[in-house]
Structure 1
């Protein structure tokens, strides 16, 4: 039995993840990783055409450099770290990327772009790619759990701050770093940890590039470690390490407990709607009500959404003015769901912002705090008062797409095809789907890289 107590946390992670092989992993973990890979690629391909990502794309294309890894949806090749930067931004740009409920982490948006960029650069196999993706998710989620929810409630965006560790772990495996180099990579990643939630108050674009910067920083950390640059060995548990500086509660044991027996990647949820995950249970409730007999959105007088303190604080804005703000607004998302029933695609959000009916109804949707719920609960109850005096109600314990309420294989495939076809056309989307479906059979992931462009 390995003695985890005689090691630093970074050393424990390096030892464990460098030892795993895809043949040793539970079948359901590998299946989950393939679902998350497919979902993130579909979201990122669609995001490659989003206007909010254009400034990041322009900077990367203007800088260029070594032609190592492809820019999704565009075809240009740039250094691996730059490709991960822009592709990670793409993957987070439409608010459809995966989430981990307990930590608020959008791991796919930094792990998958990192792993694909480095795998393409190194000529890694599909099996090695999947192992790196699983390691990246697992390391990031475990570190996030050690400081959650306090880390987020202090104003940090976990995807930006913790993402560097998951990206560094994935990159270290694909670069085949040794134990000391991997420890240094994690240390160098941690010292680049950044990401604040201030964007919430003005709907600015800053959130969009947080996972891209995490991915880029993680790759740079691994590349620097490969060349002998050193990082803090106790970056996680040290007196000025991540855990103690970035949160008023830090439980280091969570990071290494049950390594190899409990796989937190299985806890990741997949989004069905282009909105903040906290808005999803309210959207589910609104869609339920919309399907009730004789429902007419023009006859809605008021809507009350009873939920957690965080639902109110994070998504209570009744008058969003930007796409980003709308995607983080429960009143807007509920109004859009009640009026149109269409909330999946990013263009649905943009149409809603231009729809007077949606914006007027959003002002009639009120988020109310239920003091009996935990501060970060996803549970909601909804009451819609109609002009006739009738009250329509809905209750949602967890949003659709959580592991307890999984999306079907058919839904995930349809989501991927719709998102991908917007950039790759239907034929290209189908071709990419087939490559990802059999990813573990690839001797070289270059074939996947070629399928990521029209």
Structure 2
């Protein structure tokens, strides 16, 4: 059997009860977290512009999280993916180098509403899609980014098609074919890192819509290649600059149903690219420990993994003084300077007026970077910060294991607090609390279409 055949059989045969209880519980929390991030995203300019753009093509019957109208199914799915990923606050797989909930949650919600699925069935499909996506990403060993691709966009369609295929009731042969179909839609590039572009958040939305489309086509017996991964023109030969080995390919199917990579999926405690997290935390630790005023700082040097440089440090001309949210999320200079002055990094520090604060921009110009010789990446997102004061003192702090990882997990109360802080940016506290309880008890929901996600619900 091909890799696609094996993944398809796994998804078709897997039941909710066969998934370990800790994985199901973790999935509920990640579903909650994704919904909260999407609700917060809806308060930013990009969301209104994206919704307006989709609405120009027509309206429909399917809900968009926290938006006042409804769209046709695939546009609603795409928009929801853009919202989940829109503020870099969604979960991350360091193994797969992807943001899997950003495409599997909208695919699960969209296909779930379409099929009137129960919450239990939707949760199962979501878990399976995420698990497959992490494995598909892992086999690339971080190779999509150096080749210029956004791994979340390229891998996302495959995870979404597994989720959608499970909800649409595809058999093994059709689900194997669906993976070949979605391969024709695999897309996403990294040009966003070089400009104030908004395109990165589109990639998982497009992937989610592609996955549902491919699953529906396969359900109608439209035929796709069943060798999408290992074929002569398969994913790993076309999208990577290095040759994949048999051992790499084995990562996709090894231990399926026994080893759950979902368990290591990391949540974010601050809204920023994960490479920035240790820098933000180390900066706050230093300025609080020594009570450093911004005026006392002569210079700041950040130490980052080599893989982070082209994401958060270069090109410096584009990263030094970001004027849009999308660019600020990927600027080590802005994140560190803002954290040093404000001693926090929340969504409020990403508002347009915060980005152009002269004090922050002045301090950002004093930030330089170097390769971190002690990095624990790619096991963890790690980094260090060195601050030199005007009177010659030097202070250093580092974070080797990122908050939200399996080794330093966020507690359920922390996840709940994050959800409420995000959700109440667009919902009343009462409605946010009710939605949180519904998502935490998603197994008891008879029809996921009953979830009150849209603004008019």
**TM bracket, shorter-chain basis:** over 0.9
TM-score by length of 1: 0.94
CA–CA distance in structure 2, aligned partners of residues 101 and 335 of structure 1? 26
Any gaps of 5 or more consecutive residues in structure 1?
A: 1-6
Rounded to whole Å, the distance in 1 between the matches of 2:325 and 2:50 is: 17
Give the one of 261, 271, 277 matched to 2:274: 277
Superposed displacement of residue 55, structure 1? 3.2
Asked whether the 8 Å contact 2:375–2:400 carries over to 1, the reply is no
Coordinate RMSD, CA, aligned: 1.7
Seen in structure 2, the aligned counterparts of structure 1 residues 453 and 263 have a Cα distance that, compared at 3 Å, is farther
Structure 2 counterpart of 1:296: 293
Matched length: 447
- Residue in structure 2 matching 1:350, options 343, 349, 352: 352
Give 1:379 deviation, angstroms. 2.3
SS of aligned partner of 1:195: coil
Corresponding position of 1:380: 383
Question: 1:203-242 CA deviation, whole Å, 9 max, x = no partner?
Answer: 2111121111001111111111112211111111101011
Equivalent of 1:258 in 239, 245, 255: 255
SS of residue in 2 equivalent to 1:192: coil
Determine if contact 2:328/2:350 at 8 Å carries over to the other structure. Answer: no
Name the structure, 1 or 2, with higher relative contact order (CA <8 Å, separation 6+): 2
Partner of 1:4: none
| 8 Å CA contact 2:117, 2:167 repeated in 1 | yes
User: Do residues 309 (structure 1) and 311 (structure 2) align?
Assistant: no
CA contact (8 A) 2:303 2:372 kept: yes
**Which residue of 1 is the match for residue 211 of structure 2?**
218
Q: 1:52 aligns with which of 20, 42, 46?
A: 46
**Cα distance, 1:79 vs structure 2:** 2.7
Residue of structure 2 aligned with 1:427, choices 418, 426, 430: 430
1:3 — aligned with what? none
Which residue of the partner structure matches residue 410 of structure 2? 407
Range with greater deviation from structure 2 (373-382 or 8-17): 373-382
Question: Structure 2 CA distance, aligned partners of 1:375 and 1:153?
Answer: 16
Q: Which residue of 1 aligns with 2:7?
A: 13
Query: Equivalences for 1:174-189 in 2 at 5 Å?
Result: 174-189=167-182
* Aligned with residue 33 of structure 1, among 27, 30, 48: 27
In the TM superposition, structure 1's runs of 4+ consecutive aligned residues that sit over 6 Å from their partners are none
Residue in 1 that maps onto 2:321? 319
Work out whether residues 36 and 419 of structure 2, in 8 Å CA contact, stay in contact via their aligned partners in 1: yes
SS in 1 for 2:395: strand
Match of 1:392 in 2: 395
Q: Does structure 1 retain, via aligned residues, the 8 Å contact 2:323–2:352?
A: no
Q: TM-score with structure 2 length normalisation? A: 0.94
Say if 2:66 and 2:454, in contact at 8 Å, map to a contact too: no
Shift in Å, 1:322: 2.5
Instruction: Give the Cα–Cα distance (whole angstroms) in 2 for the partners of residues 64 and 18 of structure 1.
Output: 34
Question: Against the structure 1 CA distance between its residues 453 and 276, is the aligned structure 2 distance closer, same or farther, given a 3 Å change threshold?
Answer: farther
CA distance in 2, matches of 1:267, 1:450: 28
Equivalent in the alignment of 1:93: 86
Displacement, 1:108?
0.9
What 5-or-longer segments of structure 2 have no aligned partner?
A: 314-318
